[in-house]
Amino acid sequence: MRILLVEDDTMIAEAVSVALKDAAYSVDWVKDGTAANSVLEQGEHQAVLLDLGLPKRDGFEVLRRLRLDGNRVPVIIITARDGVADRIKGLDFGADDYLVKPFDVNELLARLRAIVRRQGGQAAPLLSNGRVSLDQATREARCGDAVEQLSAREFSLLHALLLRPGTILTRAELEERIYGWNEEVESNAVDFLIHGVRKKLGASAIKNVRGAGWMVEKSL
């Protein structure tokens, strides 16, 4: 899963980026509001972590423009502003959650998992199509009798597929969700990851649609 971090404080951004990457997220980072809106127009990210006190365009305006454009990407505001009026404004402008700095990174990760589940129409901590299930907190996957721990990128790939069961994702779409801007993508990277998941969970866990891409089947 690919996250956009919008934060002008380098120390905070680097710490959050490390934590997200350790939790199997791909992270892109911008430092001002104008850049944030420009990047978000491309629709490459599945969630946004948004500071409010940004250069060029503050976080409220970034959020307002994002929602006016019809972009429904989940947004968590991360800010030092702890006033009730700011919380209300952020939520009314379309934020999905509001977290005050300093925060525990594990709480941030839990809130991120929760809003992504809701965005995908899931309330439970497990993503599942009835056959394949994925625990978003532990990266543990299950298919039939097989229960396996996935690598960070195997998790990202299976997560992307389970968020949209029955939908074929192309190689480019999967690469978009797994890799960030500065990460080199080898030509056979997706094939390698799919092979790894199938080896752990069985060949039927992910279906290949010849000439189109890959999918997990809809709920059984």
Q: 207: domain CATH number?
A: 1.10.10.10
Q: How many CB atoms lie within 10 A of CB 138?
A: 11
Concatenated DSSP letters of 99-131: EESS--HHHHHHHHHHHHHHHTT--SSEEESSS
Q: Indicate if the alpha-carbon torsion angle 105, 110, 113, 119 is positive or negative.
A: negative
Q: In this structure, are 22 and 107 located in the same domain?
A: yes
pLDDT score for 116 = 78
pLDDT confidence bin for 52, thresholds 50/70/90: very high
Domain boundary among 85, 119, 153: 119
Q: Tell me whether the omega of the peptide bond preceding residue 55 falls within 30 degrees of 0, making it cis.
A: no
Query: Residues 147-166: what's their mean pLDDT?
Result: 89
Q: How far apart are CA 46 and CA 180, in angstroms?
A: 12
Q: How far apart are CA 60 and CA 73, in angstroms?
A: 15
In a domain, 183, yes or no: yes
How many alpha carbons fall within 13 Å on the CB side of residue 52?
20
- Of residues 125 and 138, more confidently modeled: 138
Q: Determine the angle formed by the axes of helices 10-22 and 105-119, rounding to 10 degrees.
A: 60
pLDDT score for 146 = 86
CA neighbor of 51 nearest in space, from 7, 101, 109: 7
pLDDT score for 121 = 60
Answer yes or no: is pLDDT of 220 > 60: no
Answer yes or no: is pLDDT of 125 > 80: no
Answer yes or no: is pLDDT of 96 > 70: yes
In a domain, 114, yes or no: yes
pLDDT score for 195 = 94
Q: Could you tell me the CATH number of the domain that includes residue 91?
A: 3.40.50.2300
At 13-36, the pLDDT tens digits run 999 999 998 888 889 999 999 999
Q: In this structure, are 150 and 190 located in the same domain?
A: yes
Residues in the chain, total? 220
Domain boundary among 75, 97, 119: 119
CA neighbor of 186 nearest in space, from 200, 171, 208, 199: 171
Q: In this structure, are 86 and 165 located in the same domain?
A: no
| Structural domain for 102, as ranges | 2-119
pLDDT score for 62 = 95
Poorest-confidence range of 140-149, 169-178, 180-189? Answer: 180-189
In a domain, 220, yes or no: no
Q: How many CB atoms lie within 10 A of CB 215?
A: 18
In a domain, 61, yes or no: yes
Answer yes or no: is pLDDT of 124 > 70: no
Domain boundary among 71, 97, 119: 119
Query: Residues 75-82: what's their mean pLDDT?
Result: 94
pLDDT confidence bin for 89, thresholds 50/70/90: very high
Answer yes or no: is pLDDT of 5 > 80: yes
pLDDT confidence bin for 86, thresholds 50/70/90: very high
Q: In this structure, are 23 and 74 located in the same domain?
A: yes
- Tokens 């994702």, residue? 169
Q: How far is CA 214 from the centre of its chain?
A: 19
What's this model's pTM, rounded to 2 decimal places?
0.75
Q: In this structure, are 147 and 106 located in the same domain?
A: no
Q: How many CB atoms lie within 10 A of CB 190?
A: 23
Q: How far apart are CA 162 and CA 218, in angstroms?
A: 9
At 54-71, the pLDDT tens digits run 999 999 999 999 999 999
The tally of domains found in the chain comes to 2
Whether residue 108 contacts residue 76, with contact meaning beta carbons closer than 8 Å, is answered with yes
pLDDT confidence bin for 120, thresholds 50/70/90: low
Answer yes or no: is pLDDT of 165 > 80: yes
Q: In this structure, are 115 and 145 located in the same domain?
A: no
